[in-house]
Copies of this chain bind each other. A is one copy, B any other.
Amino acid sequence: MTITYPNTKVERRIRSLGFRLTPQRDLILRAVAARGEHATFDEIYADVRRAAPHISSATVYRNLEMFSRYRLIHGNEVAGGKVYELASEELHHHLICHTCWMDIKVPDAYVRKLFKALNKQTGFLVLGEHYVFMGLCPDCRQEAGDSLGRFSVYPKFRHASQKKEKKNEEKA
């Protein structure tokens, strides 16, 4: 995994959008980059705080949202919690197994084909650059067997606390 921040391109981009590059923003971007692909708010905040103990959580919330909006980072809802990753040059999407959490990166080109086809049929131009598709990886798929009905697998939650509901899980 390559950490692509610090990065003058990102800095230029922030300024060209009319935003200022503050030390706080720099730290936040570094933290997201250093964490790799699944940084949570808590992790980012903790990292940033280590370098700048006085930083306000509001600042981190605000900037994560701003960065997401302008696609300097990607924020995705995964397994009941939001995770962030630095936007990379190589556009890609994710296939995440909700049984074992394996994460397969898919180059954008693979998915872009569908979007082109959709465009032909509907005229709609899909712009999102970073989608997450949940499902079953090859191993877990095999384990689940062939009797894989429409409703037989339910997403698990990794981030949100879900102490209860276990009993129901089995009955289903």
Q: Beta-carbon contacts of A16-55 to B below 8 Å, as 1s and 0s?
A: 1111000000000000000000000000000000000000
Do the beta carbons of B171 and A18 come within 8 Å of each other?
yes
Q: How far is the CB of A86 from chain B (nearest CB, A)?
A: 15
Say whether B118 contacts A168, CB under 8 Å.
Answer: no
Q: In the complex, which residues of chain B have a beta carbon less than 8 angstroms from the beta carbon of A113? A: 114, 117
Partner of A134, one of B77, B126, B157: B126
Q: How far is the CA of A99 from the CA of B38 in the complex (A)?
A: 29
Copies of this protein chain in the complex: 2
Determine the chain B residues whose CB is within 8 A of the CB of A157 once the complex forms. Answer: 69
Q: Which of B122, B137, B171 contacts A104 (CB 8 A)?
A: B122
In chain A, residues 125-172, which have Cβ atoms closer than 8 Å to a Cβ of chain B? 125-129, 131, 133-138, 141, 148, 150-151, 153-155, 157, 165, 167-168, 171-172
Known: A69-B154, A118-B95. A138 touches B110 (CB 8 A): no
The 4 closest A-B pairs by CB, nearest first: A114-B114, A123-B138, A18-B171, A127-B135
Q: A: which residues have CB within 8 A of B?
A: 16-19, 66, 69-71, 77, 95, 97-98, 104, 106, 110-111, 113-115, 117-118, 121-129, 131, 133-138, 141, 148, 150-151, 153-155, 157, 165, 167-168, 171-172
